[in-house]
């Protein structure tokens, strides 16, 4: 499949692996890029810019194909060294950056000068248009079903994607709820030129995370995610567990007066406990409703090949037959 996204990023298949905290290490990104998609290293999982430099170099040893780096701008008590991360990304010759969270306008000039293509993740049409107006090359349109931060508008992809297609000139990929060939064909039909997956890539052999997380995703249904931190206007879709229940109880008890400090034990420093130690009740970690469509743990190549095969069958057989009937 050839789209503006495959052309822009120099990839074989229109499939991107979105940045994922404590998942997007070199092993994950390299496996996706080697399989013909676009793998992305999660910048801020590395504590320092020099740590990111090492991770980029590790990834280069595993693949010669293009891969990107995610840079997420979220509210933080002590903000990360963003200028340092930008400098390392450019110095290491990375040509694709996925930005997310706040408006990336401050980092765009440096990336543009260095010939870096920027795809910004947005949860609304207005943010997508803003990204286009400030010079982003593409957007990842993230619907309400997504794992992670769906924003506060709650518009699912069946509406959000065609709305984005009505307004945007730059290409966009569908993000949130994408799992298989059906997702890819549907996303294309709604106007996207590719898809971005997070949760689905966690349940792969190469994902460098604890087996307990992969098992939990296979076991989970589409009913097993919860939204936390809504009263803080920092909504996150997460897999339900004992820690998440504590957050929800605190939010129910305190209402809109709940503060970050009230839930810090279940949201701060949780990722290593889950992803490395496999402590599945430690607290909130991002997970999409798409968990309901995850039934196995294939290799990344098996997954991507299967998606492309399914997509081609749907277009070439099922839809063709319907159109001919
Ligand atoms: C465990 C996990 C961690 C994530 N961490 C980040 C992150 O650090 N930065 C970011 O921009 N997106 C992050 N995301 C969001 C993904 O990049 C992607 O947009 C999202 O997972 C798409 O929805 P899906 O899970 O339904 O595929 C994360 C998602 C998951 C599942």
The pair of structure tokens assigned to 90 is: 């450019």
Q: What are phi and psi of 297, to 5 degrees?
A: -125, 80
Q: Which of 143, 154, 135, 118 is nearest to 40 (CA)?
A: 118
The best mutation among 16, 17, 20, 273 to test binding of ligand 1, ranked by most ligand atoms within 8 Å of the C-beta, falls on 20
Stretch (H or E) spanning 302: helix 300-313
pLDDT in tens, 114-170: 999 999 999 999 999 999 999 999 999 999 999 999 999 999 999 999 999 999 999
pLDDT value at residue 75 = 75
Residue among 90, 296, 312 at smallest CA distance from 202 = 296
The structure's pTM equals 0.98
How far, in Å, from the CA of 226 to the mean position of ligand 1? 15
Homologous superfamily in CATH for domain 4-208 = Aldolase class I (3.20.20.70)
* Any ligand 1 atom below 6 A from CB of 20: yes
Ligand 1 touching residue 209 (CB < 6 A): no
**Lowest-pLDDT range of 68-77, 86-95, 102-111:** 68-77
Residue 284 Cα to ligand 1 middle (Å): 13
Contact present, 308 and 181 (Cβ < 8 Å): yes
**Closest C-alpha residue for ligand 1 atom 15:** 148
pLDDT of residue 124: 98
Task: Please provide the distance, in angstroms rounded to a whole number, between the alpha carbons at the two ends of the chain.
Answer: 25
CB of 14 within 6 A of ligand 1: the answer is no
- Closest residue by CA, ligand 1 atom 4: 20
* Mean pLDDT of the region 293-316: 98
Which of 76, 122, 198, 283, when mutated, tests ligand 1's pocket best, judged by the most ligand atoms within 8 Å of its CB? 198
Atom of ligand 1 nearest to the CA of 201: 27
Q: Which tens digit of pLDDT belongs to each residue from 173-232?
A: 999 999 999 999 999 999 999 999 999 999 999 999 999 999 999 999 999 999 999 999
Question: 70, 92, 242: which is closest to 142 by C-alpha?
Answer: 70
- Whether ligand 1 lies within 6 angstroms of the CB of 70 is answered as yes
Q: Which residues contact 80 (CB under 8 A, 6 or more apart)?
A: 44
What's the CA gap between 255 and 249, in Å, rounded? 10
Report the pLDDT averaged over residues 255-279. Answer: 96
Q: Which of 115, 124, 121, 63 is nearest to 94 (CA)?
A: 115
From residue 110, alpha-carbon distances to 71, 72, 89, 219, 262 in Å are 14, 16, 10, 44, 38
38 phi/psi in degrees, rounded to 5:
-115, 110
If you measure from the C-alpha of residue 286 to the centroid of ligand 1, how many angstroms do you get, rounded to a whole number? 7
């Amino acid at each position: 499949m050839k789209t503006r996204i495959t052309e822009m990023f120099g990839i074989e298949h229109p499939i991107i692996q979105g940045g994922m905290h404590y998942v997007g290490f070199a092993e994950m990104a390299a496996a996706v890029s080697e399989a013909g998609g676009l793998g992305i290293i999660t910048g801020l999982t590395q504590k320092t810019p020099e740590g990111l430099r090492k991770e980029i170099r590790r990834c280069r040893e595993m693949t010669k194909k293009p891969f990107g780096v995610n840079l997420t701008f979220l509210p933080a008590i002590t903000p990360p060294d963003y200028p340092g991360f930008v400098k390392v990304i450019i110095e290491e010759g990375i040509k694709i950056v996925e930005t997310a969270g706040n408006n990336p306008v401050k980092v765009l000039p440096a990336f543009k000068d260095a010939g870096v293509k920027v795809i910004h993740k947005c949860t609304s049409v207005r943010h997508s248009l803003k990204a286009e107006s400030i010079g982003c090359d593409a957007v990842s349109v993230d619907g309400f079903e997504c794992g992670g931060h769906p924003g506060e508008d709650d518009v699912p992809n069946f509406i959000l994607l065609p709305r984005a297609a009505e307004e945007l000139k730059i290409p966009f990929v569908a993000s949130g709820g994408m799992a298989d060939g059906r997702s890819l064909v549907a996303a294309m039909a709604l106007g996207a030129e590719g898809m971005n997956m997070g949760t689905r890539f966690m349940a792969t052999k190469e994902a460098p995370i604890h087996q307990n997380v992969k098992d939990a995703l296979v076991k989970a249904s589409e009913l097993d995610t919860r939204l936390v931190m809504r009263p803080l206007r920092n909504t996150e879709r997460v897999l339900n567990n004992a820690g998440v229940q504590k957050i929800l109880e605190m939010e129910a008890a305190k209402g809109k007066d709940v503060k970050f400090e009230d839930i810090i034990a279940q949201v701060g420093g949780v990722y290593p406990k889950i992803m490395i130690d496999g402590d599945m009740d430690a607290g909130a970690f991002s997970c999409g409703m798409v968990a309901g469509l995850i039934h196995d743990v294939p290799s990344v190549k098996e997954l991507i090949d299967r998606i492309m095969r399914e997509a081609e069958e749907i277009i070439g057989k099922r839809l063709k037959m319907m159109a001919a009937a």
